[in-house]
Amino acid sequence: MSIETQHRKYQQNSDIWQTCRDVFAGERAVKAAGTRYLPRVSERQKPEDYSAYLRRALFYNATARTVMGLEGFVFRKPPAVEFPSAIRDQLDDCTLSGVPFSAFAKSIFQEVLLVGRYGAIVDMPLEGDPNNRPYVTGYSAEQITNWGTTWRGGNKVLSWLVLLEAREELTSDPFERKFSDQYRLLELDSDGLYQGSIWQKEKDEKEYHVVEQYQPKRRGEPLDFIPFCFFAPDGIAPEVSKPPLMDLVDVNLSHYRSSADLEHSRHFCASPVYFFSGFDSEEVSPAIGSSQGIVSKNADARVSFVEFTGGGLQEQRLALTEKESMMAALGARLLEPTKRAAEAAETLQIRQSGESSALQSMAQSVGHGLTLLLRWWADWAGAMSGPAVCTLNTDFQDIPLSPQEMTALMALWQAGGISYATLHRNLEQGEITRPGISAEAEKHEIAAEGVL
């Protein structure tokens, strides 16, 4: 088996991922794909006619609007992160490339929402590197090309993983950069210990070969697991999931094709055609207008207009409207008409419950994976004295606590009915406390002020 071998599920889904990305990218990416998303009207359609047909089409990007809207619901509040205070400042640059942890979390959620798959690994620079502390690296669905699992102690664990990376090559021109593919193999050796290798090939070579081998260590000892976490809409297992918005993407492309047909029909049918009857060919002048005269020796000669009056265009316009409603029902909430203002609150809540539930489940799954990364990070850094937890927001409605609710919570805490952590959690959900401040940090600040 070659290092380039792709997992069966990868082969089955790579085309789906590309479709989702093209639609999310918008009109230019969709039109650049040509007949992939917009077939020719007929096999006899000339290239220049198809090019005009393509240019007239309008792509209405409901998918991107939906992704941004749903992402906005989850990140309306920043992720709640609990992390050992001794190394918390490392989260300001979690990738060693200037990306803060909150931004990294947001990019993961967007990938999961768009293609349903992402991956991230916690790593540590080799000994002697000045950046000698843990960091994370993310990999898109297309970069996770192959993988395998094994059973250990009754649990299924990742036994090997192949990642596709871009290798930057220096040139004689300091302003020019060239990139080539390389593969990274992460695996458990025969003793069950984690090791990695880099595979490359030169231009004149046919096969990839190992150019570097390494074994990450935690406080001098190799790891007995691969610190790589998969992210999916419904969990953190290696299995490939269907993109959450795939149905919306399909309708969005159908809407695009309907738009192309409508504009095509308008182009050829909207303008009237002149009809001449009873004229000799030399009597008809191509010049038409109020300043031109038409003269014929035939008393029965006639000039008229042939104009489209059928309902075909109306049906095409109706198809667009129907598909916009379908996209709204599938998640494109920003496309919905505003006339539902009188809808009862209970009805609205029931109608939204399915989508909210799916979005909440996705936020919880991503939060679970981020928590796992943080725990590996803290353990690798030798700072497991404090908690390492990441929780994404699942409260999508802006409903702050009322004064009566705050009074009741305070009375319950003072009476010993709930802990301070529970009180703080309720205040956080009610948008009373500062975002991203844990109960422990808040308590320390209150004590420093001499209040508690």
Residue ranges of domains in the chain: 399-452
Helices (H) and strands (E) in the chain, counts: 11, 14
What is the number of other CB atoms lying within 10 angstroms of the CB of residue 370? 27
Whether pLDDT at 388 is above 70: yes
Q: What digits encode the pLDDT tens for the residues 173-214?
A: 888 888 899 999 999 999 999 999 999 998 888 899 999 999
Whether pLDDT at 375 is above 90: yes
Q: What is the pLDDT of residue 290?
A: 55
Q: What is the residue-averaged pLDDT of the chain?
A: 83
In which band, very low, low, confident or very high, does the pLDDT at 435 lie, cut at 50, 70 and 90? low
Name which residue leads in pLDDT, 3 or 358.
3
Provide the 8-state DSSP code for 290.
T
Compute the distance between CA of residue 190 and CA of residue 208 in angstroms, rounded to an integer. 23
Name which residue leads in pLDDT, 73 or 335.
73
Tell which residue, 244, 19, 10, has the closest CA to residue 113.
244
Q: At residue 111, what are phi and psi to the nearest 5 degrees?
A: -65, -45
In which band, very low, low, confident or very high, does the pLDDT at 292 lie, cut at 50, 70 and 90? low
Q: What digits encode the pLDDT tens for the residues 393-432?
A: 887 766 667 777 777 877 787 677 788 888 877 777 676 7
Tell which residue, 238, 237, 248, 230, has the closest CA to residue 358.
248
pTM of the predicted structure, to 2 decimals: 0.78
Q: What digits encode the pLDDT tens for the residues 136-145?
A: 999 999 999 9
Phi-psi group of 178: left, alpha or beta (phi > 0 → left; psi -120 to 50 → alpha; rest → beta): beta
Tell which residue, 433, 362, 336, has the closest CA to residue 74.
362
- CA dihedral of 326, 327, 328, 333, whole degrees rounded to 10: 170
Distance, CA of 405 to chain centre: 37
Whether pLDDT at 32 is above 90: yes
Q: What is the pLDDT of residue 335?
A: 34
Q: What is the pLDDT of residue 409?
A: 78
**CB 235, CB 365: distance < 8 Å:** yes
Tell which residue, 431, 390, 436, 429, has the closest CA to residue 108.
390
Compute the distance between CA of residue 242 and CA of residue 250 in angstroms, rounded to an integer. 13
**CB 371, CB 387: distance < 8 Å:** no
Q: Scanning the structure block, which residue is given the tokens 């009109």?
A: 27
| 290 Cβ contact partners less than 8 Å away, ≥ 6 residues apart | none
Pairing mode of beta strands 302-306, 273-277: antiparallel
Q: What digits encode the pLDDT tens for the residues 124-175?
A: 887 666 668 999 999 999 999 999 999 998 889 999 999 999 988 877 788 8
Whether pLDDT at 436 is above 80: no
Tell which residue, 294, 317, 312, has the closest CA to residue 304.
294
Whether pLDDT at 291 is above 80: no
Name which residue leads in pLDDT, 354 or 268.
268
Whether pLDDT at 273 is above 70: no
What is the percent of the chain where pLDDT is above 90? 48
In which band, very low, low, confident or very high, does the pLDDT at 340 lie, cut at 50, 70 and 90? very low
Task: Lowest mean pLDDT of 114-128, 201-215, 355-369, 388-402, name the range.
Answer: 388-402
Q: What is the pLDDT of residue 38?
A: 94
Compute the distance between CA of residue 142 and CA of residue 118 in angstroms, rounded to an integer. 9
Q: What is the pLDDT of residue 333?
A: 46
| 299 Cβ contact partners less than 8 Å away, ≥ 6 residues apart | none
